[in-house]
Each structure stands twice: as structure tokens, then as C-alpha cells.
Chain A
Amino acid sequence: MDHIEKWNRAARTFDWLNMGVERRYGAHKRALFAKAWGRVMLVAAGTGLDFSWLPPDLDIVAIDFSPEMVKRAKLRAVQYSGRLAVVEADVEDLKFPDEYFDTVVTSCTFCSVPDPVKGLKEIRRVLKPDGRMLMFEHVRPGNFLLGIMMDIMTSAMRKIGPELNRPTADNIRCAGFKITREFNVYLDMVKLFEVAKY
């Protein structure tokens, strides 16, 4: 699978490349993820950088489709104060039963999932009826010129990194979710979403 190979390679430099993102937006992530409760799934855990922004003492399953990412995340998971299992899994084909999780957390996830709507529909399946999804995502800007800039950047970066021009808000609705809160963190490009199943 090409995309798994791509993220296996990216795992080596992932911490360095995301250092700036964590430094700048960590406080926003921490405030959003503080709303997580019950049985939690963290989608696309990467090397586990986001573990430090999750509230302590939760019951968390962190998934990623890249074996290299999972290997690194497992090393970081032992420092978490609650229960944190890191599992190799693809969000487009989850093995969990229906309505299993109370909260799903994503962090810069749907820029790298090959079929984002399929992945979101799988999340909707495993989310309990009163569950919610907390998302920190970068999306295609609404501004015409900035959108074109992101399209050009994406065509140059697609082989080595994330896609910068995903219409994630539309994808969320397309998967059947309802966005209950949307917050612009930087321009209308870096956003927080709180999403309900119904």
C-alpha cells in the first residue's frame, strides 16, 4: 500500500516536522481534547505526540495504519497515566463493533486518510449514539487565491506528506455527522470541530 509506505518513511522525521505544530497549537488541542470522556479512540495517532494533550486516566485506543508509527507510539504510550492501547488499524476498515466508543479524537488526520468520507463513515459506525468526535484539522481555505495556493502545494507534496486542500467540513457532513461547533484557529485553514452523531 503506497500510503502506508509513505507514512512509514515519514515516521523517522515525524517528531521533528511536527514540533512547531505542537508548540503553536498544543494549547488548543489540550482545551479541545479535555472534552473527551468514556471509551476514547484516537485516530491516526502517529508517533503519539498527541498523547500529552489528552486528559489523564481515560480508557483510550489509539490507532494508526503505519507499523512504524505504531512502534514509536507504543514507546510513548507507557508514559500515559490511564489505559492507552496502541493498535495498528485502518480507519477506513475498523474492526471494532458498532457503537463502541464514547469519544473519537482526531488530530491532523483527515489530510492523510486516502478516502476521508469512508473513514468518517466508519467512525460514525463505531461511535455511540450520544458520542461525539473532537477534531483538530487543517482544511482548504475558503479564500479563492489561498485555496489555489493550497491546491498547488498539495500537488507538490502529495507523494511525501499530507494533502492541504481537503474540504473536511463538507466531508464530515457527507458522512452523516452534524457539526455542533467549528472554531477557526488560524485563518479558516486550521480548525477545531466538535461533531455529533445525530
Chain B
Amino acid sequence: MDTSFSPYTPVIVTVMEHNATWILRCVDYISTILAACVTAGIISLLIPSHWSAPVGMFLGMILSMAVFSIIFLVLSFLAGPFGILMPGMASAMITGMVCGMMTTANTVSLSKLFTFGAVIGLGMATGFHIYDWVLHGEVSQDKTQRRA
């Protein structure tokens, strides 16, 4: 590959040239799990247990979007926005809403919230990976023309 006018360092181009998509895929998984786990941790710290469940759920959702926005801004520079945006947003939002409710129930420990976040994050990342695997590739033009 001619790198003479590339805006990127030869190391980055070499990584791309070796088709190291698994590194970028790892970033997708890490960002999705991180978004869910950090959301769970912050919710357990900020939402008091004596609040009502609907308020906890709503605040959990708002906090999850704030957490995800920060993680998204940092990691999308590394691996592009699209692989992080949807799985990360979905896992953070679900974790935020559920953990918000669980925190107000006052029966769940921090470690359980973290575990819940990690499971949701891993599940979302895997789900989107499989969905991408199913959709990736050529689109039949006969089908597309009919849809239009």
C-alpha cells in the first residue's frame, strides 16, 4: 500500500493492511461493556435508595446517556462511531433504567449491579456482532428495486 500521502502513521496503515478488524471489534465489545458497567456504578452512587422506582428508572436513563456520551466521544476517535454508537447506547440505556429501579429497591449490592451491567453489555455487543454478520455483504438489487 502506498503510504506516501496518507494522513495516518504507517503503523495504523499496516494494521489496516493486515485486516486486523478483530482489534476494532474488541473496541466495540469493550466500549459496550464499559458503558453498561460505568452506568451501573454511577447509578449506585448517585441515586438514593429511598426514591421511587419510576424516578430511579428515569434518572437511570438520563445518567446512562451522559455516561455513554463521554465513552462514545473518547472511543469513537479510536474505532469510528458506528460500531460503538448503537450497541453502546442500547446497553447503557437498558442498564441505566433497570439499575435505577433496582437501586431504589434497596436490595441489590454494587457488585450485582456491575455484573448485571457486564452481562447486558456483553449480550448487546454479541447481538449486534451477530446482526452485523447476518447483514454484512452484497444486497440483492432485485429486492431493493422492488422496495423502492
Contacts of A27 in B (CB 8 A): 16-17, 19
A188 to B17, CA, bound (A): 24
Contacts of B82 in A (CB 8 A): 21, 24, 138, 186-187, 189-190
Restricting to B72-93, which residues have a CB under 8 Å from any CB of A?
75-83, 85-86, 89-90
B: residues with CB less than 8 A from A are 1-2, 4-8, 12, 15-17, 19, 21, 24, 75-83, 85-86, 89-90, 128, 131-132, 135-139, 141, 144-145, 148
The contact of A186 among B5, B8, B132, by CB within 8 Å, is B132
Does A85 sit within 8 A of B, measured CB to CB? no
A19 to B89, CA, bound (A): 21
Contact A81 B132 (CB under 8 A): no
Q: Is the interface of A mostly helix, strand, loop or mixed?
A: helix
Contact A146 B139 (CB under 8 A): no
The contact of A169 among B19, B75, B138, B148, by CB within 8 Å, is B148
Does A26 sit within 8 A of B, measured CB to CB? yes
18 contacts between A and B (CB under 8 A): A20-B76, A20-B77, A22-B7, A24-B24, A24-B83, A25-B80, A27-B16, A48-B7, A51-B5, A56-B2, A76-B5, A149-B90, A173-B145, A181-B138, A183-B139, A185-B136, A187-B82, A187-B86
A: residues with CB less than 8 A from B are 15-17, 19-27, 30, 48-49, 51-52, 56, 76, 79-81, 138, 146, 149, 153, 169-170, 173, 179-191
The contact of B135 among A30, A48, A170, A184, by CB within 8 Å, is A184
Contact B80 A184 (CB under 8 A): no
Give, as a whole number of angstroms, the nearest-CB distance from A182 to chain B: 4
Contacts of A146 in B (CB 8 A): 86
Give, as a whole number of angstroms, the nearest-CB distance from B148 to chain A: 5
| Total A-B pairs, Cβ < 8 A | 102
Give, as a whole number of angstroms, the nearest-CB distance from A2 to chain B: 23
Give, as a whole number of angstroms, the nearest-CB distance from B16 to chain A: 5
Contact B144 A23 (CB under 8 A): no
A191 to B83, CA, bound (A): 13
A38 to B75, CA, bound (A): 38
Give, as a whole number of angstroms, the nearest-CB distance from B23 to chain A: 10
